[in-house]
């Protein structure tokens, strides 16, 4: 995402776990650029209306604003939450689309990171900062990359790998992705 934002000036507009492909070495690659747009001017920011997945959209976009780089950062936070916890955001609430909108936009709620999730404090702080309600308060992907690198260098941990196969269907085909889940134990 740092490359897309900083080097290519592209707003993805639909970042979510299903759009991150993971190879057998655990390297993630962002995919599905169907809703992406090149941001013409760095100061322009918004790309106008873009379809996407409501669960990963920031409050300003749910309220009718356009897709932005800051919105991609918010989507990263929700994606990181989903991957680490293996839970859908707000799944414990069983929210409908309208209730989801109200809880994110009107009530300013975010998913709950629980103690038993075992998330390192540094990662939790990064995620919580990245889903801040105020877009300009969210870090850039350059900052996120630096913080993630510092976390991986600073932490001596055992990584547990669990493999699972996920099957996805589209109108044209069915395909399988072999995923590796990483859980860190301190």
Q: Is 23 designated active site?
A: no
**In a 3-state reduction of DSSP, which class is residue 137?**
helix
CB atoms within 10 A of CB 81: 26
The pair of three-digit structure tokens given for residue 159, joined into one six-digit string: 């990584």
Q: Give the DSSP per-residue string, 43-70.
A: TT---------GGG--HHHHTTPPP-HH
Q: List Cα–Cα distances, 48 to 18, 160, 172, 186, in angstroms.
A: 23, 41, 30, 43
Q: Could you give the CA distance from residue 77 to residue 130 in angstroms, rounded to a whole number?
A: 6
Alpha helices in the chain (DSSP H): 2, 59-62, 69-85, 97-101, 121-130, 141-154
Of 14, 23, 107, 117, the catalytic one is: 14
Catalytic positions are 14
């Amino acid at each position: 995402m740092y490359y897309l934002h900083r080097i290519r000036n592209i707003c993805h507009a639909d970042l979510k776990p299903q759009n991150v492909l993971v190879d057998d070495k655990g390297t993630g690659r962002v995919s599905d650029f169907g809703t992406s747009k090149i941001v013409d001017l760095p100061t322009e920011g918004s790309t106008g209306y873009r379809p996407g997945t409501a669960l990963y959209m920031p409050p300003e976009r749910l309220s009718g604003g356009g897709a932005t780089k800051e919105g991609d950062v918010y989507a990263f936070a929700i994606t990181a939450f989903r991957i680490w916890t293996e839970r859908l955001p707000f799944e414990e609430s069983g929210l409908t689309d309208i209730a989801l909108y109200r809880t994110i936009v009107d009530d300013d709620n975010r998913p709950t990171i629980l103690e038993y999730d075992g998330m390192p404090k540094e990662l939790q702080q990064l995620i919580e900062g990245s889903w801040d309600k105020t877009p300009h308060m969210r870090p850039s992907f350059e900052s996120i990359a630096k913080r993630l690198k510092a976390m991986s260098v600073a932490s001596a941990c055992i990584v547990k790998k669990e493999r699972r196969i996920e099957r996805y269907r589209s109108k044209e085909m069915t395909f399988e992705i072999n995923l590796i889940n990483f859980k860190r134990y301190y």
